[in-house]
Amino acid sequence: MFNIRGMRGFLTCPTGATCAAALTLLPAVLNVPSAAAAPADRTTTALSGSTQSLPLTPRTRERVLGQAPEQGAYSTDVRPFSLVGVIWDSPGAELHGQVQVRTRSAATGDWSGWQDVDPHNADHGADPGTAEASSGRVHGATAPLWVGDSNGVDVRVRTEAGPGPGPGVGRDLLPAGLRLELVDPGDEAPSEGPAADSPRTDTEADPAATVNAGLVSFAATEIPALSREDTERELRELNGAGAPLAKPYIGPRPRIVTRRGWGADESLREKGFVYTGKVKAAFVHHTASGNGYRCSEAPSVIRSIYRYHVVSMGWRDIGYNFLVDKCGTVYEGRAGGAAKAVRGAHTLGFNNNSMGVAVIGTFGSHKPPAAAVTGVAKLTAWKLGLFGANPKGKTYLKSGGGNLYPKGKNVRLNVISGHRDGYATDCPGAKLYAKLGSARTSSARLQGR
């Protein structure tokens, strides 16, 4: 995270010359909240939950090329929300600076201290050139931050201090169209469908549920855990009569909370599913949404991230294929079938033939709970085993384009890799990245290797 508290009011023109000679700049940033703006409402009616959008406005009189080095929004006239993020117009633009937010608790009326929001989220997303990336609906965005039940907000976005002829010279202008997104995950799960053992017609089928038909009954809220013996039997059934007779290397299937189980509003996402050929690798992420949630709140956090990815950022669905909370519970992510090779939007350049697993939390300086690492190991032992992949092995993936590898390059990667192995990013955080060796060993052991 970039810290620019030392900024003195000097900015850099595009030519590299100091702008102070041409502009009269105030010597200090004004920390006065901007006037409250009426939030644009993005409520959907199928289920509870909503997104409110507030435009950011200048919070200082300083200007370079007509733009202030700090923008913000302040409002106590908003409906309750639990997750925040900042988006902007162009998905190709980066926010070089610091984003901070404080919120007012709906329960106590007290304001929190300032919290950092990770400004770098460009490393997540669909591969360049895909229909999802080129839909015209995609925005640039920060990572989301879980703040709990809140009804007031104050956000400030400052340009980054960078090298230049004077102290605190701004490196870049802020991206255009900055908006604060306030996400309410809603209190209600989807209305109950027919009982899992009830007959149904095709018109009653929820496509996101029917793609798991080989694993679980329709409308189930979870895919139950299986012993290793039963998992091997299931694998042979999924592969059909022509399946090889050799004993497969596959871990016991972990319990997985389905999309219905965590309350996905299926009307939000784009219809249909997109698949890749196979799953050769798993990329481990952190959501960078903070660690201040209870495990019982994890479904609400996931609903919020889902809504942020789709409604605010313009993706077709939540980007991750699976999520794991701090207690080790595994959740189905992007729709298309938990056992299938669903193409996600998690590791820009390497979404093909891979899956993305996000541990809910921020793990740059905080150690991930052992239960979460174990959850990653259990999930990868099963899912990679479905496709014959060795968690302790290496594989080749062809880059779709990114900041580490050019498009078309075959890259040798660990079968269980961190996000930073495919893209220059801090994700999944230094502390979680350091645990991937342990996850590989545990995952392979669960497969019987």
* Domain end position, chosen among 151, 184, 217: 184
pLDDT band at 172 (very low <50, low <70, confident <90, very high): low
**Nearest C-alpha neighbor of 383 from the set 324, 305, 423:** 324
> Based on the domain organization, do 269 and 332 belong to the same domain?
yes
> Based on the domain organization, do 241 and 92 belong to the same domain?
no
> Based on the domain organization, do 216 and 124 belong to the same domain?
no
The string of pLDDT tens digits covering residues 353-365 is: 999 999 999 999 9
Residue 387 maps to a domain = yes
φ, ψ (nearest 5 deg) of residue 31: -95, 45
Q: How far apart are CA 249 and CA 238, in angstroms?
A: 15
Do 347 and 422 touch, CB atoms closer than 8 A? yes
Say if residue 381's pLDDT is above 70: yes
> Based on the domain organization, do 139 and 262 belong to the same domain?
no
What distances in angstroms separate CA 126 from CA 309, 335, 398, 421, one per listed residue?
11, 15, 14, 17
> Based on the domain organization, do 162 and 282 belong to the same domain?
no
pLDDT band at 267 (very low <50, low <70, confident <90, very high): very high
Residue 85 bridge partners (DSSP): 181
Residue 13 maps to a domain = no
Can you read off the two tokens belonging to residue 15? Answer: 């030519």
Residue 4 maps to a domain = no
* Domain end position, chosen among 184, 218, 237: 184
Residue 160 maps to a domain = yes
Helix (H) or strand (E) holding 411: strand 410-414
pTM: 0.84
pLDDT band at 164 (very low <50, low <70, confident <90, very high): very low
Can you read off the two tokens belonging to residue 400? Answer: 């779709």
The pLDDT value given to residue 417: 97
Residue 254 maps to a domain = yes
The pLDDT value given to residue 92: 87
The pLDDT value given to residue 88: 96
Can you read off the two tokens belonging to residue 340? Answer: 């299938």
Per the structure, the count of domains in the chain is 2
Say if residue 416's pLDDT is above 60: yes
The string of pLDDT tens digits covering residues 102-140 is: 999 999 999 999 999 999 876 788 888 899 998 999 999
pLDDT band at 22 (very low <50, low <70, confident <90, very high): very low
pLDDT band at 160 (very low <50, low <70, confident <90, very high): confident
Q: How far apart are CA 349 and CA 385, in angstroms?
A: 23
Q: Which domain holds residue 138?
A: 19-184
> Based on the domain organization, do 290 and 362 belong to the same domain?
yes
Q: Check which CATH number belongs to the domain holding 217 and give it.
A: 3.40.80.10
Say if residue 155's pLDDT is above 70: yes
Tell me which of 435 and 215 has the higher pLDDT: 435
Say if residue 28's pLDDT is above 50: no
Say if residue 46's pLDDT is above 60: no
> Based on the domain organization, do 264 and 379 belong to the same domain?
yes
The string of pLDDT tens digits covering residues 83-94 is: 999 999 999 898
* Domain end position, chosen among 150, 184, 218: 184
% pLDDT > 90, the chain: 65
The pLDDT value given to residue 15: 36
Give residues with Cβ within 8 angstroms of 266, minimum separation 6. Answer: 190, 206, 207, 208, 259, 335
> Based on the domain organization, do 70 and 213 belong to the same domain?
no
The pLDDT value given to residue 380: 98
> Based on the domain organization, do 172 and 225 belong to the same domain?
no
Do 319 and 143 touch, CB atoms closer than 8 A? no
Residue 85 maps to a domain = yes
> Based on the domain organization, do 168 and 213 belong to the same domain?
no
The pLDDT value given to residue 62: 61
> Based on the domain organization, do 255 and 361 belong to the same domain?
yes
Q: How far apart are CA 73 and CA 283, in angstroms?
A: 35
Sign of the dihedral defined by the CA atoms of residues 364, 31, 153, 316, in that order: negative
Say if residue 53's pLDDT is above 90: yes
The string of pLDDT tens digits covering residues 291-308 is: 999 999 999 999 999 999
Mean pLDDT, rounded, of the chain: 84
Say if residue 236's pLDDT is above 90: no
Average pLDDT over residues 299-322: 97
Residue 428: asked if its preceding bond is cis (omega within 30°), the reply is yes
Say if residue 38's pLDDT is above 70: no
pLDDT band at 8 (very low <50, low <70, confident <90, very high): very low
Burial 278-310 (b: 16+ CB within 10 A, else e): ebbbbbbbbbbbbeebeeebbbbbbbbbbbbbb
Residue 3 maps to a domain = no
The string of pLDDT tens digits covering residues 324-335 is: 999 999 999 999
The pLDDT value given to residue 13: 36
Tell me which of 285 and 17 has the higher pLDDT: 285
Average pLDDT over residues 390-405: 92
Residue 14 maps to a domain = no
The pLDDT value given to residue 243: 56
pLDDT band at 47 (very low <50, low <70, confident <90, very high): low
> Based on the domain organization, do 42 and 122 belong to the same domain?
yes
The pLDDT value given to residue 74: 97
How many helices (H) does the chain have, and how many strands (E)?
Answer: 7, 21
pLDDT band at 35 (very low <50, low <70, confident <90, very high): very low
